[in-house]
Structure 1
């Protein structure tokens, strides 16, 4: 699975990606929900996910791109398309309960990895969504499969 030129897409250096994440978190602290975007049909949104640290038990927040699938929120567990999983995903695997904040409000969610036919369908939808880029090409450059993460709302929360 590569892009049309047959080579893996270019990725910025790791220091650049980490700096961009820090800037994004800083801007969120300054502007709050102004930097979140609502997902629309064919267009991804931005949410703030608050997870519990698997070692510290402290709250950790990250801004993620997502698509809406009914009442579920769907994202990819990628670390700048690097090989290692993002820390937020490792934290969710240890404790799947989290809080997702979108422009529509805050909701308690339970995270899980999509598998099989569900994963393939959601992967296809993510790839067809504006803003995700060439996910097939980026994924081809990784030695591991990119997890598709489903954030199911917790009923009664």
Structure 2
């Protein structure tokens, strides 16, 4: 069986769901993963993604980096269209509302996320797009 450390995309989401995060919550380089479910802006279908996150007070932070691609990830476009999302951390699922960090909030939040995944700084250098930090607040 493949280690969750080697999983990406749908296989990672499936393993996380099957095990309530027992396999899939802990990922590479000490990062932790949550599942973010958005509503497809075109399909109306629920889409779930495994994302590196960090707690921030009562909220949770994720980064819409797509590895420094010039296009944002589809999950980000979905939550821009509908900010009501579902979050799963280990076995706990809860509704949340997503928003982009304000210009005042972003520097500290970005630093926190770069601490978790240093490649975020490299991703930002690869694109002219300002990579957003997304704040997930329990609804």
Q: Normalised by the shorter chain, which TM-score bucket?
A: 0.7 to 0.9
Alignment RMSD: 2.0
- Could you say which residue in structure 2 is the equivalent of 1:68? 55
Greater shift after overlay, 107-116 or 132-141?
A: 132-141
| Residue aligning to 2:120 | 135
Which of 78, 81, 97 is equivalent to 2:84? 97
- TM-aligned CA distance change 1:124 to 1:81, over 3 Å: same
Deviations 1:78-137 (A, max 9, x none): 2132111111110000000011000251111000000212011100111123xx123222
Unaligned 5+ residue runs, structure 2? Answer: 1-6
**1:53 aligns with one of 40, 64, 72:** 40
Contact 2:64 2:76 in 1 (8 A): yes
Q: Which secondary structure state, in structure 2, belongs to the residue aligned with residue 100 of structure 1?
A: strand
* Divergent runs of 4+, >6 A: none
Larger Rg: 1
Q: How does 1:1-20 map to 2 (within 5 A)?
A: 20=8
Q: Across the two proteins, how many residue pairs are aligned to each other?
A: 130
SS of residue matched to 1:33: coil
Would you say the 8 A contact 2:58–2:137 is kept in 1?
yes
User: CA–CA distance in 2 between the matches of 1:22 and 1:152?
Assistant: 24
